Structure 1
Amino acid sequence: MADVLMFHHALGPNEGLRAFADELRAAGHTVHTPDLFEGRTFETIDEGVAYARDTGWGEILGRGERAAEALPKGLVYAGFSLGVLPAQMLAQTRAGAKGALLFYSCVPASEFGEWPAGLPAQIHGADADPIFMDEGDVDAARELVEHEQQVELFLYPGDQHYFADSSLPSYDAAATRLLTERVLEFLERVG
């Protein structure tokens, strides 16, 4: 079974994140869900991103690093949208990473150095999501897939950014079922 460190999106640690983490736990995995926003939640992506910007991206990444410090090194790092930043950073820079799960976002590997040789990852996004498709995320994901054999990109039909968050109107149950199947298979493989 895998040990997963999972970071929330810009709305904060909401019910949808907890439900997804619980689904992974029900399959036997250990899932840690730290709060990068120190108890704050937001109604919109813009509000959450503004909070992160005002707090400082360095501090948000630092909170992610501090959350990892007390945990073993053999983790799978997972992040949803804004949470991809600390997840991807830790997957690329913290020794012993077993994998990365990047939901709705991906940054160029060069942001954090080089992609570690042999590190498996899955990147999940909606094929008509204007954030994922138009802001460079899908391009970064495709570049990783092109250069790293063990990195997979999965696109789902739809235009919603947070399509796998069951607590939001953007939730797509069918896409989430497929995403969850793929994630559980990945965790079984790397765990």
Structure 2
Amino acid sequence: MDIMLFHSVYGLRPGVRAAADRLRAAGHQVHLPDLFEGQVFGTAEEGRKLREEIGHEELLRRAVLAAAPYSERGLVYAGFSLGGSIAQNLALGDTKARGLLLMHGTSDIADNASVDELPVQLHVADPDVSEPHDWLTAWYLRMRRAGADVEIYRYPGVGHLYTDPDLPDYDEAAAEETWRTGLAFIASL
């Protein structure tokens, strides 16, 4: 399976590279674009500042350019937090997308979004200030209206980026459960 994996607002850090290696070890081809062009950050605030400087449209343009050479094969889009938002935007616009694996992040959905039973799996902290319950409920309903087949997995008491072993939010048990479930999801596609 070809997977396009997008990094969080922290940039393309070792935790994201380790995630790509985990996916490769499961037999997948993983494409890992660097939307921040080599810049990595120690805090989310620093990363958000660069994200704002680059702008949402430019980040999406970079992501589309990274995915374009592989999209004819039918990609699984995946991402962490900001990367999940970007992955969702691309998957909803790609008629050949095979699936969408979101970890820690979602995006708004255009009213005219339409997919043909796109398999979607979301893994998120519970609670998560970046993905509050009312937002997730509305997001789920809009994704279903768009035609996506959505599963949401919530992990009580963990921090926002709980799968990244280099960040303070890391929770080993929740991260391992996320990876078991996520790898099974990708294998089912």
Q: Do these two structures clear the TM 0.5 threshold for a shared fold by scoring above it?
A: yes
TM-score, normalisation: structure 1: 0.91
TM-score, normalisation: structure 2: 0.91
Whether the aligned pair in 1 keeps the contact of 2:95 and 2:115 (CA below 8 Å) is: no
Aligned pairs for 1:30-179 within 5 A: 30-73=29-72, 74-110=74-110, 113-133=112-132, 136=135, 138-144=136-142, 147=145, 148=147, 150-179=149-178
Name structure 2 gaps, 5 residues minimum. none
Distance 1:81 1:58, change over 3 A: same
CA shift for structure 1 position 153: 0.6
Whether the aligned pair in 2 keeps the contact of 1:106 and 1:140 (CA below 8 Å) is: no
CA shift for structure 1 position 95: 2.5
Distance 1:24 1:171, change over 3 A: same
Paired AA for residue 96 in structure 1: K
Distance 1:69 1:49, change over 3 A: same
Aligned pairs for 1:5-16 within 5 A: 5-16=4-15
1:77-113 CA distances to partner (integer Å, 9 max, x unpaired)?
01111112321111011220001011111123227x4
State the distance in 1 between where 2:71 and 2:144 align.
Answer: 30
Whether the aligned pair in 1 keeps the contact of 2:116 and 2:148 (CA below 8 Å) is: no
Residue aligned with 2:84, SS: helix
CA shift for structure 1 position 139: 3.2
1:127-149 CA distances to partner (integer Å, 9 max, x unpaired)?
0221122683x234432465456
Whether the aligned pair in 2 keeps the contact of 1:12 and 1:37 (CA below 8 Å) is: yes
Residue aligned with 1:114, SS: coil
Indicate the residue corresponding to 2:2 in structure 1. 3
CA shift for structure 1 position 115: 3.7
1:43-87 CA distances to partner (integer Å, 9 max, x unpaired)?
111211111111111101100000011214300001111112321
Aligned residues: 187
For the aligned residues, what is the CA RMSD?
1.8
Q: Which deviates further from its counterpart, 118-127 or 153-162?
A: 153-162
Paired AA for residue 22 in structure 1: D
Whether the aligned pair in 2 keeps the contact of 1:126 and 1:159 (CA below 8 Å) is: yes
Residue aligned with 2:70, SS: coil
Identity %: 40
State the distance in 2 between where 1:31 and 1:173 align.
Answer: 23
